[in-house]
Structure 1
Amino acid sequence: MTISTTIRLRAAALLSGLALALAGCFMSPGKFTSELVLTGPDSFTFSYEGEIFFLGLSKLAQMGAAAEESFTPSECFSDETFEPRECTKEELEAQRAEWDAGAAERAARAKKDAETMKAIMGGIDPSDPKAAEQLVKLLERQKGWNRVVHKGDGLFEVSYAVSGTTGHDFMFPMIESFPPVNPFVQMFLRDGSQARINAPGFAIQNGDNPIGGMAGGMGALAGLAAMGAAEGSDTPAVPSGPVLEGTFTIRTGPGMRILANNTDEGPEAAPGGGEVLRWSISQGTTQAPTALIATAR
């Protein structure tokens, strides 16, 4: 095979399996501002303003679903010079027969993949033209989702805010009928009036973060597309994913103590008492924000 053929086949293989390979990280943040405020020993407020990307509703997933729908013959080579040559009719027929023989297997795999993605999307069929509209309605009927706008290609602009008590753990986002995977922000309550706060979704390059796998997959596909363009092949342009860019802030009330954190600057004093932790998030963020806070003396 020539380089261009290898690129095309590798890209098709990556695309066809991408949606399921990334099933555990089907949501990711884009540009955002988020804040968690511990308003008292037993209360908090949380907000997220910005973008959320749903992989299953993107062109990337659509390309993966369509990658194996059409037959593309492989190149043939000269036995003497190993240079590409035009395939004979018999060779093309043999390739086509091999393709046709795998039709049932491909159909079964496509059906299984579609069912899995539908389950991941809370029963919403990503191939349905109204899937984005259905997701908007699903989110808007949940408490906290004050505004949800589909910007296209699986990217949504949201305004989320909720207040609650610290009698239980907290995670964002949580969507009805969706599996609780790849959280952006988590708050775990410990004995002794302590709260551990983690934001795994805000570190795209963290090796322990599954969302980093999505970035890696997109990067690999983009690289293949660039190589294909350089070789003049017909490798399709790979859609880019969301740009991770934002700020995450934790505010504590008077009398609370920040026991540990991984900010660059450390805590700042807040007007009226309490402290503030701030993280600037970007494509190069390597550590997920984390803090341990004593909510009462």
Structure 2
Amino acid sequence: MNKPTSIRMCAASLLAGLSLLLSGCFITPGKFTSELVLSQDESFTFTYEGEIFFLGLSSLAQMGAANEEFTPQECYDEDTFEDRECTEEEIAEQRAAWDAGAETRAAEAKKKAEEMSVMMGGIDPSDPEASEELRRILLRHHGWDRVEDKGNGVFDVSYSISGKLTHDFMFPVIEDVPMTNPFVQMIIRDDKVVRINAPGFSAQEGDNPMGGMAGLAGLAALGEGASGGNGADEMPDLPKIEGTFSIVTQGSMKIRANNTDEGPNPTPTGEILTWDISPRTQNAPTALIAFGQ
């Protein structure tokens, strides 16, 4: 396979993978510190300090949404199947076929833009003011104390919220934005037991190879192939997941199960579970804790 053909195949794979990620309104952590404190009085406090990356607002998404220009396909010798230069007549035929599909491509582009706007809570990602609009929306939500736009879909945030262990909790939740990849979930079971999962704090979500930050890493690798091995000139910088997630228990709460490497460590008032999160983290943090004992 020659280099131009390889580039076209890599580019096609890049756009296919990007469409898969965008279909989930892909939101991921960057560099962060997060903590969940469970208190003896059956209350909780959750904090998140650091970066959040919105793929739909990044230049990577713009690459996927860009209108492809006509590029002549390579011709080949029917006897040897070797690539050869196309004749002017063959190029003209390719151009005519491309032009004939213009209406269909425009309709597909419009549909994808509308779908993306729905996934972004009505925000048009192509609008130059899209990031500022999202920042204003986040700041009007309870708990979002700081939201700073760092550019290319990355926001630096400070989030803190407290409540009682009487209801489930999930972060992040954004008005009118369907969430498919929460960072942290807290699920209250009967008999005063809480299950805590952090699917967003792993490089790969379950059996989905395009899930988590692994999906972004895969796209970056494809981008390098599509640019002939010089992906740094073509692909935008993508945030790398790097942080710490801790669960702190106070009083007589009992940690029934967890998947940390070291298990719980004692504190003056209870115990603490800590996960160091990196691009190598494959298993999402999880714990089962009994409260009110």
Q: So what's the TM-score if we normalise by structure 1?
A: 0.91
Supply the AA of the counterpart residue of 1:276: I
Q: 2:76 aligned with 1:77, yes or no?
A: yes
Equivalences for residues 61-100 of structure 1 within 5 A: 61-66=61-66, 68-100=67-99
For this pair of structures, how many residues does the alignment match? 293
Structure 1 pair 216/37, CA: closer, same or farther in 2 (3 Å)?
closer
Cα distance in structure 1, aligned partners of 2:177 and 2:83: 49
Q: 2:239 aligned with 1:254, yes or no?
A: no
Cα distance in structure 2, aligned partners of 1:15 and 1:47: 35
- 1:228 Cα offset (Å): 4.4
Cα distance in structure 1, aligned partners of 2:188 and 2:22: 29
Structure 1 pair 219/129, CA: closer, same or farther in 2 (3 Å)?
same
Please state whether the residue corresponding to 1:45 is helix, strand or coil.
Answer: strand
From 277, 280, 287, the equivalent of 1:284 is 280
- 1:88 Cα offset (Å): 1.2
Q: 2:149 aligned with 1:150, yes or no?
A: yes
Supply the AA of the counterpart residue of 2:263: G
Structure 1 pair 143/177, CA: closer, same or farther in 2 (3 Å)?
same
Supply the AA of the counterpart residue of 1:255: S
- 1:236 Cα offset (Å): 6.8
- 1:222 Cα offset (Å): 2.6
Cross-structure match for 1:213: 211
Cross-structure match for 1:4: 4
Please state whether the residue corresponding to 2:188 is helix, strand or coil.
Answer: strand
Supply the AA of the counterpart residue of 1:290: T
Supply the AA of the counterpart residue of 1:219: A
Cα distance in structure 2, aligned partners of 1:143 and 1:118: 23
Q: 2:209 aligned with 1:202, yes or no?
A: no
Cα distance in structure 1, aligned partners of 2:16 and 2:100: 18
Structure 1 pair 179/230, CA: closer, same or farther in 2 (3 Å)?
closer
- 1:200 Cα offset (Å): 0.4
Structure 1, gaps ≥5 residues long: none
Cα distance in structure 1, aligned partners of 2:178 and 2:228: 40
Equivalences for residues 215-254 of structure 1 within 5 A: 215-230=213-228, 237-254=234-251
Q: 2:263 aligned with 1:270, yes or no?
A: no
Q: 2:286 aligned with 1:296, yes or no?
A: no
Cα distance in structure 1, aligned partners of 2:85 and 2:229: 19
Report if aligned partners of 1:200, 1:288 keep a CA contact under 8 Å in 2: yes
Q: Once structures 1 and 2 are overlaid, which stretch shifts more, 254-263 or 220-229?
A: 220-229
- 1:174 Cα offset (Å): 0.4
Cα distance in structure 2, aligned partners of 1:263 and 1:48: 19
Structure 1 pair 228/209, CA: closer, same or farther in 2 (3 Å)?
closer
Report if aligned partners of 1:203, 1:285 keep a CA contact under 8 Å in 2: yes
Supply the AA of the counterpart residue of 1:137: R
Cα distance in structure 2, aligned partners of 1:246 and 1:208: 23
Structure 2, gaps ≥5 residues long: none
Report if aligned partners of 1:218, 1:240 keep a CA contact under 8 Å in 2: no
Cross-structure match for 1:139: 138
Q: 2:188 aligned with 1:189, yes or no?
A: yes
Q: Percent identity?
A: 59
